[in-house]
């Protein structure tokens, strides 16, 4: 049973690795609304938070002719995050959580997840499917009691808490909008009997 729980949760959360991939995929050859990679780099270097986030996403997945480089991705995500970009804050949190371009650091990951939550919530409420899925990840990571979940029984109990119910709500909203990773995570969680 524990194996099933861990597998189920791994698919939902590891699916988050696609978060930045999906964000950067649209910029693979012509980033940011048809801008060249040079224009994105220039805007990022001049302090444009959105360009910094996009450049980080491109480095994270080797898009736009850039070599995949987690360290450079985190540098650009961090610059955008420090300016208040909630998606970049979420990317920084995930970097620290999984050791992507930086050393794993749960304390820093939780700090960045907390910073990202309000901005992601605002975007999620406006119907942004990626933000909805990201908010699910945040709540599933730092929601009351989430850190204490270590088995399927605890997962089922946590999913009935206020934080768990809200997390699943955002997962379902993202899935309903066609967010592929949300749909996969939701389907797997249902098959595992978690929801």
Q: Do residues 104 and 94 make contact, with C-beta atoms less than 8 angstroms apart?
A: no
pTM metric for this prediction: 0.78
- According to CATH, what is the number of the domain 2-191? 1.25.40.10
Residue ranges in the chain whose pLDDT is less than 50: 1-32
Residue 148, class by beta-carbon neighbours within 10 Å (0-12 exposed, 13-18 middle, 19+ buried)? exposed
pLDDT at residue 7 in the model:
35
Q: List the chain domain ranges.
A: 2-191
pLDDT at residue 195 in the model:
83
pLDDT at residue 45 in the model:
97
CA distances from 146 to 111, 124, 136, 140 (A): 15, 20, 12, 6
Chain centroid to CA 20: 7
């Amino acid at each position: 049973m524990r194996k099933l729980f861990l597998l189920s949760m791994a698919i939902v959360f590891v699916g988050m690795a696609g978060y930045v991939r999906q964000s950067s995929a649209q910029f693979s050859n012509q980033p940011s609304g048809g801008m060249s990679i040079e224009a994105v780099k220039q805007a990022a270097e001049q302090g444009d938070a959105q360009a910094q986030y996009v450049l980080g996403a491109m480095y994270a997945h080797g898009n736009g002719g850039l070599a995949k480089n987690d360290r450079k991705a985190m540098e650009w995500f961090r610059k955008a995050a420090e300016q208040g970009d909630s998606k970049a804050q979420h990317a920084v949190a995930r970097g620290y959580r999984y050791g992507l371009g930086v050393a794993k650091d749960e304390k820093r990951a939780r700090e960045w997840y907390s910073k990202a939550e309000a901005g992601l919530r605002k975007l999620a409420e406006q119907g942004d499917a990626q933000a909805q899925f990201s908010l699910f990840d945040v709540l599933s990571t730092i929601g009351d009691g989430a850190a204490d979940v270590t088995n399927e029984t605890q997962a089922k109990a946590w999913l009935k808490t206020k934080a768990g119910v809200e997390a699943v709500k955002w997962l379902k909203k993202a899935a309903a909008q066609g967010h592929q990773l949300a749909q996969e995570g939701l389907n797997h969680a249902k098959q595992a009997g978690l929801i």
